[in-house]
Structure 1
């Protein structure tokens, strides 16, 4: 069926069939939601960017077609709600690994969370409508892209922030290719998301502008796709050189349904130790994941807390046992839980807060450094909107009732011959611009995680976002997880070595070298916001420039 004639005033549904245009006009919210679902397929594990980008183009056209500001905001909200609900389905899987709530609540928790998260795409759509409704698709798309940058940045920190996943994640290449994400050092993650919107607007513009024939249009669209998207997405990138820091990265395979089972603790430790011991006569950095050690290793806790394993009744003996596994010249970085002890409201001396932490131990079993997680996981380590969600029976997913306390933020641990280590525990790695101490830049980032409760969508998305941090900061990232995917990522975002999900194993080698500080490493998200301002100025000024050009001709 022939498409409708181009309406040069709004120029938004050109290229769609009349039937599709009629459906979109009659059911704007449903259409936006369907496009949101398709666009979410651009994220790992599907990574179907070849259908996600066309869906994004149709979404831009759909928002442009909105007759009112309410209609634009509604379309943006419905797109965001469906898009983010599918992308975050791994949160629902996490509900299967706890006993406090019915598992089915997980499938309510995700869309409920996305009711809030979808506000940000709605705001971007609203801003584009108010500022550039009467502009052509290219100018409109530029303003939409600028709004998306700002709102995605807001989503990363408002109410403690939840940026998972950024739209630009679909532009990351496969493990051996950077994709369009090679621009991250000059853009930052949120500006890359804006670029995805801008690319969609360019596709829309090419599909609607007058051309001599349909073949010219096809050549323009295919040529732009190959040059800007397809080529970068599939071309492998060279790997980086290595530093002289040797490492052993261990994935012990601790299934989530066994992680709090006291009868399995000794078996888990022995499996971790057996993977670690070979090579303990050399100088090296050993990396264990989050949740690798059930014991409390700190001194000074009431006796009832030292009960995880036989050795945990004496934290000194527990640390010394770990030291014997490591060897004399080794530094271990491992995830632990630390407690803050004080007088509780019931008058009993005990834990008043807990901290999800990483400690460094030497070969003698001495704790030399600490880092405490700053960004806690919603639903996992704290309950968002606790007064409301708690009233309907929701609770956090982690075991215990002691509240988690966030740490101060990025820090660098000086490990001597084993380098300057930046630490980002699990979910922290997804926060663009918030992973590095810029006053004391590390040589590498260590990202321990427990991905065992993340389902099939969570681990590949988590790994992909760690790759984006590597590219934009110019730093290698070493990911050790309990069950997979563990990986060594160089400063170009290329996965050097990996251990898949559901496998016990280790990888060894030398830590990839860091790059000099990138532009993003120097300016952080101020760089992305600068791009937002420039793109907005371009979008708002473009119609006037075209009008002046028309008058002169």
Structure 2
């Protein structure tokens, strides 16, 4: 097998560490192979190519759920979904290629320095992937470590720092295989000890909040916007909401739960509010229209509404980080002309909201809202000036296939660990869940089932270091790794 073929195979294997498989030791082994390939690259160009093929393999397998999303695009053939996966992976692989090139340029000639530089470069390139061209932060390598226990380091070094830990562990495996026992053993001992210490000192969430009911109606994407299923969809949501009671409840419906324009249609608000008890409050997804000077609708917001029992809206959050082609169509005149419309139905594009906000919910505390895809952006999920008591992540994963929903859940768990805040997810088809501030899943509903979760809102912990400093932490970690690489090279001389 050629070096490029081996790099591609290693990338495929690395993706097995992500949900739904969670085989994170294979991800570490794959990074050991990548480091071995970079070390033996005869030129910078060769190192870049090996890193690119590794990234291409990782993304083309890990993002296969995007192909399923295209099956809901009626104007285009289903096979176009796999074309989209491949094209996106061709672009995203540029970032692992850049990391490999930096590692070869500044770390070659010394194995330990190579490992350290690749780990530092992976932090920077993953951050860039999450930032440039609106960013695509899905499946950072660090999320593969959530089941391992090492995710306890996330409050101290962030998600991108956790990705560097995965690279360092892969490097330790390489050093062991090449009989550099002292360095490898030291690396393993330090990382495992740090991970164990992080979990040991992590405070347990204190107390419990209000009663919540998370509704998962199991409404598939094929029926979600079909007018013939409108009443059936409402009936499912209403039935799972349960009977009103005197006990205050926070009712949580998924993203885009209602097709009604709640700001404009008081009758629709009254119908939904009739499901609530006198002290209840509901958070539900819907659409807010934007009108031009002539009174015609020109755009929309993907919104979250707070509705009280008197059919009054007590707050609204507008999604800020939108999905290209899912919620708006770049170059609309050109792409519409060739039959490519948005994957979500409708002729209007969504506009972006102002960013993370906290909604005050009388009787239920303060909620930070992140709609669907927004939850994957490390360091951008909470209004630091108005820290919430919990994060609510209404989502529509119904078009994400079998791999997308568990990957989405894993990333939500990592946000809980980073921020020290519980996360509650409500989705139409799963996986809905209640996650505590240490990332543990307390309650969940499986994919493809209808049901409801009755629980108490978990408590938060004190603001973590990451909650205070954000992505300055992984960048500081990257600088430390580079400094160590310089030190070991000088010592070797």
TM-score (norm 2): 0.94
1:283 aligns with 248
Matches within 5 A, 1:23-172: 23=1, 27-135=2-110, 137-172=111-146
Q: Is the 8 A contact 1:143 1:540 kept in 2?
A: no
- Cα distance between partner residues in 2 of 1:491 and 1:325: 30
1:183 aligns with 153
- Quote how far apart the aligned CAs of 1:96 are: 1.0
Report SS of the residue matched to 1:172: helix
2:446 aligns with 500
Match of 1:331 among 281, 288, 292: 281
Match of 1:417 among 357, 363, 371: 363
- Cα distance between partner residues in 2 of 1:64 and 1:388: 45
- Quote how far apart the aligned CAs of 1:281 are: 2.4
1:312 aligns with none
- Cα distance between partner residues in 1 of 2:484 and 2:359: 43
2:407 aligns with 461
Q: Is the 8 A contact 2:416 2:422 kept in 1?
A: yes
- Mark the CA change 1:239 to 1:351 in structure 2 (over 3 Å): closer, same or farther: same
- Cα distance between partner residues in 2 of 1:283 and 1:30: 59
Q: Is the 8 A contact 2:358 2:367 kept in 1?
A: yes
Match of 1:256 among 217, 221, 224: 221
- Asked if 1:199 is matched to 2:169, the reply is yes
1:20 aligns with none
- Quote how far apart the aligned CAs of 1:545 are: 2.3
Gaps of 5+ in 1: 1-22, 300-314, 548-553
1:11 aligns with none
Q: Is the 8 A contact 2:379 2:471 kept in 1?
A: yes
Q: Is the 8 A contact 2:28 2:170 kept in 1?
A: yes
Match of 1:341 among 291, 306, 318: 291
- Mark the CA change 1:390 to 1:266 in structure 2 (over 3 Å): closer, same or farther: closer
- Mark the CA change 1:44 to 1:229 in structure 2 (over 3 Å): closer, same or farther: farther
1:537 aligns with 483
Q: Which has the larger radius of gyration?
A: 1
Report SS of the residue matched to 1:327: coil
Q: Is the 8 A contact 1:323 1:364 kept in 2?
A: yes
- Cα distance between partner residues in 2 of 1:103 and 1:377: 20
- Quote how far apart the aligned CAs of 1:179 are: 1.6
- Cα distance between partner residues in 2 of 1:207 and 1:45: 29
- Cα distance between partner residues in 1 of 2:109 and 2:68: 44
- Comparing 269-278 with 182-191, which one deviates more in the overlay? 269-278
> Which deviations, in whole Å up to 9, do the C-alpha atoms of 1:330-359 show, x marking residues without a partner?
11111101110115xxxx742211111101
- Comparing 52-61 with 384-393, which one deviates more in the overlay? 384-393
- Mark the CA change 1:391 to 1:158 in structure 2 (over 3 Å): closer, same or farther: farther
- Mark the CA change 1:393 to 1:228 in structure 2 (over 3 Å): closer, same or farther: farther
- Asked if 1:444 is matched to 2:393, the reply is no
TM-score (norm 1): 0.84
- Cα distance between partner residues in 2 of 1:55 and 1:476: 32
Match of 2:208 among 231, 243, 247: 243
- Quote how far apart the aligned CAs of 1:129 are: 1.0
- Cα distance between partner residues in 2 of 1:57 and 1:505: 43
How well do the aligned residues superpose, as a CA RMSD in angstroms?
2.6
- Cα distance between partner residues in 1 of 2:138 and 2:470: 18
Match of 2:319 among 354, 358, 373: 373
- Mark the CA change 1:543 to 1:399 in structure 2 (over 3 Å): closer, same or farther: same
- Cα distance between partner residues in 1 of 2:349 and 2:103: 41
- Mark the CA change 1:223 to 1:166 in structure 2 (over 3 Å): closer, same or farther: closer
Number of residues paired by the alignment? Answer: 492
Report SS of the residue matched to 1:399: coil
- Mark the CA change 1:228 to 1:459 in structure 2 (over 3 Å): closer, same or farther: farther
- Quote how far apart the aligned CAs of 1:121 are: 0.6
- Quote how far apart the aligned CAs of 1:395 are: 3.4
- Quote how far apart the aligned CAs of 1:56 are: 1.4
- Mark the CA change 1:32 to 1:445 in structure 2 (over 3 Å): closer, same or farther: same
- Mark the CA change 1:390 to 1:502 in structure 2 (over 3 Å): closer, same or farther: same
Report SS of the residue matched to 1:360: strand
2:179 aligns with 209
Report SS of the residue matched to 1:148: helix
